Amino acid sequence: MIIDTHAHYDDKAFDEDRREVLADLPVHGIHRVINSGSDLEACRRTMELMERYPFIYGSLGIHPCDTTDMTEGDMDWLASQSRLDKCVAIGEIGLDYYWDEPERQLQKKWFVCQLRLAQEVGLPVVVHSREAAQDTVELMRAEHAERSGGVIHCYSYSKELARTFLDMGFYFGIGGVVTFKNGRKLKETVEYLPMDRILLETDSPYLSPVPNRGKRNDSRNLPYVVSQIARIKGITEDEVERITTDNALRLYPKLQV
């Protein structure tokens, strides 16, 4: 049993064959998928998928790159929808300094608001952090993000910084990048991390693992990630599947319903 803890099946990349792809996932041992919202429309589409497919759950939140026009009304809407039975987290939220916009103070404002929302509604957070390590850590500490807990999605920083997030009780989303030849830093981090803090994710349709790098990604590629983690950790693929599934169920207890 494999759980894909982060995907975007609402993305237009799946418009032509979404139904066929999703119908095929359970056949390939993918028993749960968490579809992650990135803006309000993506959150609405995620909710539609949650309603249509028993094995799809959702995280609802506004990605830092989509905070330009965010309003307090949007926060009220997120608060109300986050109480849905199949909403398991607030996310993906965070900071992204790779791009010049939205400006950083605006990203910080809405990151803080959504961190606070997670604590109000009693859900973990899904954190996106790109080239913004210091500010991410400072805001998470200031807002006591350890109270809600959650996952650092698509972890891209050093194994040294990983210790900081481990101390906060956070999990780490590991996907296709761990199979890349230039993924040395992530491989070192995976070797360092305890297995009980690793989650499997695809970020579909992005970051497809080797041997399908550059192609559209989906959850059926997760066995390649499992195989790489097993090699790095010196354990069997079955152990990787079992432990990461247990981790996902522990962080997201609603998945067991």
Whether 48 and 58 have beta carbons less than 8 Å apart is answered as: no
What CATH code is assigned to 2-256?
3.20.20.140
Q: Which of 131, 130, 166 is nearest to 149 (CA)?
A: 166
DSSP structural state of residue 117: H
Peptide bond into 101 cis (omega under 30): no
Rounded Cα distance between 158 and 190, Å, is: 10
The three-state secondary structure class of 24 is helix
Sequence-distant (≥ 6) Cβ neighbours of residue 157 within 8 angstroms: 129, 133, 189
Digit-coded pLDDT (tens) for 215-235 = 999 999 999 999 999 999 999
Return the structure tokens found at 16: 């032509």
Per-residue confidence (pLDDT) for residue 54, from 0 to 100: 96
Digit-coded pLDDT (tens) for 23-42 = 999 999 999 999 999 999 99
Rounded Cα distance between 168 and 166, Å, is: 5
φ/ψ of residue 183, rounded to 5: -95, 30
Check whether 257 has a pLDDT greater than 60.
no
Per-residue confidence (pLDDT) for residue 256, from 0 to 100: 79
Segment 146-169 mean pLDDT: 97
- Domain ranges within the chain, ordered by starting residue: 2-256
Digit-coded pLDDT (tens) for 41-72 = 999 999 999 999 999 999 999 999 999 999 99
